[in-house]
Structure 1
Amino acid sequence: MIVLKDILYKVTIESVVGNTSVAISNLEFDSRKVSLNDVFIAIKGTLSDGHQFIKKAANQGALAIICETLPENIVNGITYVQVADSHKALAIMAANYYDNPSEELKLVGVTGTNGKTTVTSLLYQLFKKAGLAAGLLSTVKIMVGDIEYKATHTTPDSLTINKYLREMVDAGVEYCFMEVSSHGIHQKRTEALKFCGGVFTNLSHDHLDYHKDFAEYRDVKKSFFDELPKTAFALVNVDDKNGVVMLQNTKANKQTYALKTYADYRAQILESQFTGQLLKINNQELWVRLIGGFNAYNLLAIFGTAQLLGLEELEILQIMSTLESVDGRFQYLISKKKITAIVDYAHTPDALKNVLETINSIRTGNEEVITVVGCGGDRDAQKRPVMGSIAAALSTKVVFTSDNPRSENPEKIIEQIEAGVPAEHYKKTISITNRKEAIKAACQMANENDIILIAGKGHETYQEINGERFDFDDFKTVNQLLTTLNK
């Protein structure tokens, strides 16, 4: 039996109307899911305010209402708990409801603009290969040991997080690697979780549709490290100037990694090819299957994290040499005509620049680099012209196309991308709104040894247009087109 007052432990309560010693069923923040004896937590979201649905939740059988503002009409038999912050209350209550599972495993949070999915997914891979029971909460998927679940958000809501963490604990999982997004931190989804470590990858232009400016975006990330306990470690990339900022107020054990500057964990790129790269990490050479400077940083973060969690250096390096790329992260194929097609999630200016610079550093110079890229709708519009400028400057040909336009007009999005293209690069670019047709055009342009980069969607298997999701997979599409066109 779960009693309301028990799951309210550590919640900042302003007032109570009714009895908190009642037995409750489930916690819900979506009024549509409320049923008999549930607790409804009214959350103020970006699109709607849960306080508007208190009456609906009561009519559906809610036994208790958690809210920031008490409703005018109090219903007898329902307990109303007024709290200072509903987001924070939900996180604490969710942890209590599932008996605080994060305290029973080693939970590592990875945050930053780019690299979160790769770092968490490869840590999961590494620990599994080391024979350890591991879990994963990522953009791509959720893994409870060997059981896979579909992911819907980079950082899920507090109830979902704690539900899966409890499942992990019950399944004997010892380590969990979790992506921590700025949205998740800002909306208190990670509140009440006990982290044994935090990793910072990098910070660049993204999510400025949500955060008012870059400083707020940075400070939200920093708050994650501010809250880490003394028993945790904080591992940051100090080649990114924001890495030092993350460490300013943390109580955690401060650790650093870098390719260019002095750090606790250092690496050098000795050789780079499309099939992999030769790295020197802490004076040990190893060949890895992941390529590019950005992946050298990711692998260094993995190396540092694994050591801080107690794994032996030699074992870590041996397993790192076997790690496979994550779906949609520099995922490539080579056609019969020797055309290389690369699919990457690069959806920020910095990520696109990193991928194109990596391609240009490996190619001999005789091949053409044909980039297919768009930008998502209902998201940060400021980055669109920057993406256009980078794509045009670092490619020999560019096809601007639709990404996930959502509720926006895809042609208008493309116009905003094109606005960033300097006059000297105009002739390099064309625009084809239909994404499949854009990829087809790139395939038709490509000759032997040329390189096609399809950026922006990576692992996604859908395209979101006017509120509907249509099946669409960049990797499958380019594979089919190159196979058909090369006959």
Structure 2
Amino acid sequence: MKLIDVMKNLDIIDFVGEKTIEINGIAYDSRKADQGYAFVCIEGLKTDGHQYIPQAIEKGAKVLVVEKDVEVAPNIAVIKVKNGRKALSRMGANFYGNPSDHMRIIGVTGTNGKTTTTHLIKQILETNRVNSGLIGTLSYKILDKEYKASNTTPESLELHRLFHEMLINEVNTCTMEVSSHSLELGRVADVGFQIGVFTNLTPDHMDFHGSTENYKRAKTMLFYQTTVANIINIDDPYGNEIAEEIKRLSTNLIRYGVNKQADIYAENIQTSSKGTIFTLVTPKFSGEVKIKTPGMFSVYNALAAIGVCYALDFSFDQIKEGIESFHGVSGRFELVPNTGDHTIVVDYAHTPDALENVLKTIQGFAAGKIITVFGCGGDRDKTKRPMMGEIAGNLSDYCVITSDNPRTEEPQSILNDIEIGIKRTQCKYKMILDRKEAIREAVRISKENDIVLIAGKGHETYQILGNTVIDFDDKKIAQEILREEV
């Protein structure tokens, strides 16, 4: 593709070079640059792409996209822009033929529930023979191909490449998780969303956004990019605010919840350890729906997915078949298989709201004690640590506080932050830094009818200690410990 076509609709401050040269690819990582590439310099949180210009040119880059003045050989074209990330997004869309304009893109944003909701939507679509791609925390899926996820929402260049690959494989619908970071940083600025979904919002990523209001504002950006419908949880106070803000837009607004003032709601809700049954009510139809996961959070996830498929004119029977064939998502309220009497649940709950939801769900059917193993991530929002300690203490009979992904923080200092909150409760607890030993302790003290919750990492198969990544899978570790007991 010629450079002039890659540059289309780019906000250019200055340009030096030849616009008709052929561009073979785009890179923002100098290690991935190649002959005839355009190298986009991005100022990140930890590094500055401008530092790697010599390496990119050595690899064969013929075009530089920069935010700063640079001096290079005259055979290198230089495009100066105000924002490198926005330029990367626009150039990526141009290079891959604006693929999202030829697809049905469904974006799901919120603090909790994004992963399960996207998988539920995909299940309903595929049950009804719609080829559907998926982009999210666990992986990126195109038919039988699955790629390891680098971020919940990939960088814009990868995003447009994935959409392009989907179209080549005759996948014209994609459901994706849309993180607040991706919205704030412009990774999805050139994605043509048809439908947007808001699940809920609780304080998170305060180290990045600075305030809950900024966090909400970032989430709200999605709903100004949609063309068909916005599906909003109005039982969530922030969701209700967003619904009021965007109701003047031309897109169809569908409110969901368990409140009867919603357009789509659930009533007659019955939950147990085996799952949940509720009556679905919509403006067009109603009927009983069964889901295989327990808890109110599961009802909300189901309603979000139902709202999307309702907006796409699916019938009740089509929605019901898809929802009821869904078996859950790895690391989301996942029971650990074992041959003994132990009940162990692994869940990704790593925010105060998510931890509260999963513990309240367990309280709803627990016949014995609730033993909770959890920690908090390092180099992340510290304010939620005592909050999670207090929540776990109030809703558990015993807690084992341990390491999550401490990263470059001192692990014991993270546990100390959590302890501040748990001390406000009457809950007995123990602090064990080694996560495997913490799980072992919880299993050791559990009796028949007790439930052990291992929270915080869910699907993750690693632990980040300092700058080292080690293999660590909560479910496998629990199974290993159970085998040792036999």
How high is the TM-score relative to the length of structure 1? 0.96
Q: Name the CA distance, whole Å, in 1 between partners of 2:34 and 2:130.
A: 39
Native 8 Å contact 2:371 2:396 kept in 1: yes
Alpha-carbon displacement from aligned partner over 1:54-100 (angstroms, at most 9, x marks no partner): 333234322111112221x2420111111121111101111111111
Matched with 2:200 is: 202
Native 8 Å contact 2:371 2:399 kept in 1: yes
Q: Name the CA distance, whole Å, in 1 between partners of 2:377 and 2:81.
A: 36
Native 8 Å contact 2:337 2:479 kept in 1: no
Matched with 2:364 is: 361
Q: Report the CA distance between 1:46 and its aligned residue.
A: 0.7
- Aligned to 2:174, the other structure's residue is in SS state strand
- Aligned to 1:24, the other structure's residue is in SS state coil
- Aligned to 1:210, the other structure's residue is in SS state helix
Matched with 1:89 is: 87
CA 1:419–1:38 in structure 2 vs 1: closer, same or farther (change >3 Å)? same
Matched with 1:242 is: 238
- 1:104-123 correspondence to structure 2 within 5 Å: 104-123=102-121
Tell me which amino acid in the other structure corresponds to 2:166.
M
Matched with 2:74 is: 76
Structure 1 residues 215-224 or 32-41, which shifts more?
32-41
Native 8 Å contact 1:368 1:396 kept in 2: yes
- CA-based RMSD: 1.4
Q: Name the CA distance, whole Å, in 1 between partners of 2:337 and 2:364.
A: 18
**Identity percentage of aligned residues:** 39
- Aligned to 1:379, the other structure's residue is in SS state coil
Matched with 1:303 is: 306
Q: Name the CA distance, whole Å, in 2 between partners of 1:324 and 1:121.
A: 10
Matched with 2:287 is: 284
Q: Name the CA distance, whole Å, in 2 between partners of 1:412 and 1:389.
A: 17
Tell me which amino acid in the other structure corresponds to 1:6.
D
Matched with 2:460 is: 460
Tell me which amino acid in the other structure corresponds to 1:414.
L
Native 8 Å contact 1:121 1:138 kept in 2: no
- Aligned to 1:296, the other structure's residue is in SS state helix
- 1:433-452 correspondence to structure 2 within 5 Å: 433-452=433-452
CA 1:288–1:424 in structure 2 vs 1: closer, same or farther (change >3 Å)? closer
- 1:80-479 correspondence to structure 2 within 5 Å: 80-228=78-226, 231-247=227-243, 248-249=245-246, 250-282=249-281, 283-333=286-336, 335-364=338-367, 367-425=368-426, 428-479=428-479
Tell me which amino acid in the other structure corresponds to 1:471.
D
How high is the TM-score relative to the length of structure 2? 0.96
Native 8 Å contact 2:193 2:225 kept in 1: no
Native 8 Å contact 1:3 1:20 kept in 2: yes
1:63 and 2:66 are equivalent in the alignment: no
Native 8 Å contact 1:185 1:220 kept in 2: yes
CA 1:335–1:449 in structure 2 vs 1: closer, same or farther (change >3 Å)? farther
Aligned length: 479
CA 1:453–1:315 in structure 2 vs 1: closer, same or farther (change >3 Å)? same
Q: Report the CA distance between 1:20 and its aligned residue.
A: 1.6
Q: Report the CA distance between 1:423 and its aligned residue.
A: 4.4
Q: Name the CA distance, whole Å, in 1 between partners of 2:67 and 2:264.
A: 45
Structure 1: gaps of 5 or more residues: none
Tell me which amino acid in the other structure corresponds to 2:97.
D
Native 8 Å contact 2:43 2:49 kept in 1: yes
Q: Name the CA distance, whole Å, in 2 between partners of 1:324 and 1:380.
A: 32
Alpha-carbon displacement from aligned partner over 1:341-380 (angstroms, at most 9, x marks no partner): 000000000000000011112224xx00000000111111
Q: Report the CA distance between 1:115 and its aligned residue.
A: 0.5
- Aligned to 2:364, the other structure's residue is in SS state helix
Q: Report the CA distance between 1:334 and its aligned residue.
A: 5.7
Native 8 Å contact 1:403 1:463 kept in 2: yes
Q: Name the CA distance, whole Å, in 2 between partners of 1:322 and 1:61.
A: 50
Q: Name the CA distance, whole Å, in 2 between partners of 1:335 and 1:274.
A: 16
Q: Report the CA distance between 1:396 and its aligned residue.
A: 0.1
Q: Name the CA distance, whole Å, in 1 between partners of 2:76 and 2:289.
A: 63
Q: Name the CA distance, whole Å, in 2 between partners of 1:477 and 1:169.
A: 40
- Report runs of 4+ in structure 1 exceeding 6 Å deviation: none
Native 8 Å contact 2:366 2:449 kept in 1: no
Native 8 Å contact 2:124 2:318 kept in 1: no
Native 8 Å contact 1:238 1:256 kept in 2: yes
Q: Report the CA distance between 1:36 and its aligned residue.
A: 2.2
Structure 2: gaps of 5 or more residues: none
- Aligned to 1:9, the other structure's residue is in SS state coil
Structure 1 residues 281-290 or 179-188, which shifts more?
281-290
Q: Report the CA distance between 1:269 and its aligned residue.
A: 5.0
Tell me which amino acid in the other structure corresponds to 1:196.
Q
Alpha-carbon displacement from aligned partner over 1:304-330 (angstroms, at most 9, x marks no partner): 111112221221112211211100000
Q: Name the CA distance, whole Å, in 2 between partners of 1:269 and 1:117.
A: 26
Q: Report the CA distance between 1:13 and its aligned residue.
A: 1.0
Tell me which amino acid in the other structure corresponds to 2:89.
A
Native 8 Å contact 2:27 2:37 kept in 1: yes
Q: Report the CA distance between 1:261 and its aligned residue.
A: 4.5
Tell me which amino acid in the other structure corresponds to 1:95.
A
